[in-house]
């Protein structure tokens, strides 16, 4: 079955985004590892209070300088934990 003129033209003109799993399999492994850690966090943190405690446990090894350079979410977790 041959391609129509429209299909041939579409192949020439349209951009198809390459899939990351095909281009960089190691990135897929890193993403999977992150997902597993995140799922474990979600299992541990069912309420906001538990989420803060779990977040503190995750960020505890960070130095004060590292915490200042991280995302607002980590800053929120550390300042909220200090109030608990």
Domain ranges of the chain: 18-83
pLDDT of residue 80: 57
What pLDDT digit, counting tens, does each position of 18-50 carry?
Answer: 887 788 888 888 888 888 888 888 888 888 888
Q: If you average pLDDT over every residue of the chain, what do you get?
A: 77
41's CB contacts (< 8 A; 6+ apart) are 51, 54, 58
The predicted structure's pLDDT at residue 79: 59
Confidence at 66, pLDDT banded by 50, 70, 90: low
Tell whether the model's pLDDT for residue 84 goes beyond 60. no
Spatial distance between the Cα atoms of 32 and 21, rounded to a whole number of angstroms: 11
């Amino acid at each position: 079955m041959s391609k129509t003129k429209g299909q041939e033209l579409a192949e020439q003109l349209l951009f198809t985004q390459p899939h990351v799993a095909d281009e960089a399999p190691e990135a897929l492994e890193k993403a999977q590892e992150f997902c597993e850690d995140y799922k474990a966090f979600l299992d541990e943190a069912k309420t906001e209070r538990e989420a803060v405690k779990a977040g503190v446990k995750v960020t505890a090894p960070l130095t004060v300088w590292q915490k200042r350079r991280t995302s607002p979410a980590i800053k929120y977790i550390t300042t909220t934990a200090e109030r608990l």
